[in-house]
Amino acid sequence: MSVGMAKWLGPTGRVYATDIRAEQLAEIRAAVVQDALSNVVVLEGTESSTNLPSECCDAIFLRDVYHHLTRPHEFDVTLLAALKPGGRLAIIDFPPERRSTLPAGVPDNRGGHGIPASIVVAEVTRAGFRHVRTMSRWPPDDDRNMLFLVMFEKP
C-alpha cells in the first residue's frame, strides 16, 4: 500500500511506511528502491509506538494491524501525536474468527484472532480521537463481509 500511495500522491506528497518486523521493513525498502520513489520514509515501529514524528501526517491508515497490537493504548497515543489537528485515522480489520487462537501478547478481550469494531472504537477514542464512522463491511460492496472500517479524527 505504501508504494501505491506514494505514486498516487506524487513527488510533493510524503508517505511514512512503518512496521515492527525486519523482514517487512526490508520488503518495503526494496519496493521503494525498485520503483525509485523519493517520497517514502520507512520507519521501524515498536509494540508501543509508531515512531512517527509529531504532527507529520494528514491521514494514517492501518489494515489488518490493529488486532495484533499488544500495547494498544500506548500505540494509539502515538497515532494521535503523529496526526495534524483534524487529521484522519482509518482502521481496517476483521472480527474475531470463531474458535481461533488469540495472537500472543494481545489483550484477552479480543475474543480470538481478530477484534470487534466496538473494541477498536473504545480503545482509540480513549486515546483522544473522535469516532467518525464505522462501516461493518469494507469495501461496502464486498459480500464476503470479512473486513470492517472504522474512521476517526484528531480534534
Paired residues of 84 in beta bridges: none
Confidence at residue 97, expressed as pLDDT on a 0 to 100 scale:
87
Contact 125, 56 (CB under 8 A): no
Domain span including residue 14: 1-44
Q: What DSSP character marks residue 148?
A: E
Are residue 1 and residue 32 in the same domain, yes or no? yes
Q: Which residue in 47, 147, 24, 63 sits closest to 107, CA to CA?
A: 47
Same domain flag for 8 and 66: no
Q: Quick one: which of 114, 39, 52, 42 has its CA closest to 81? A: 52
* Mean pLDDT to the nearest integer, 80-105: 94
Q: Which residue has the cell 470479512?
A: 146
Question: In the predicted model, what is the mean pLDDT of residues 93-110?
Answer: 91
* % of the chain residues with pLDDT over 90: 87
Q: Please indicate, yes or no, whether residues 63 and 116 belong to a single structural domain of this protein.
A: yes
Are residue 127 and residue 51 in the same domain, yes or no?
Answer: yes
- Grid cell 525498502 is found at 29
Do 62 and 125 fall into the same domain? Answer: yes
Average pLDDT over residues 102-119: 93
pLDDT digits (tens, 9 = 90+) for 126-148: 999 999 999 998 888 876 668 99
Please tell me whether residues 75 and 64 are part of one structural domain.
Answer: yes
Query: Which is more confident, 63 or 145?
Result: 63
Q: What does the pLDDT read at residue 139?
A: 83
pLDDT digits (tens, 9 = 90+) for 31-62: 999 999 999 999 999 999 999 999 999 999 99
Per-residue pLDDT band at 6 (split at 50, 70, 90):
very high
Our count of domains for the chain comes to 2
Average pLDDT over the chain reads 94
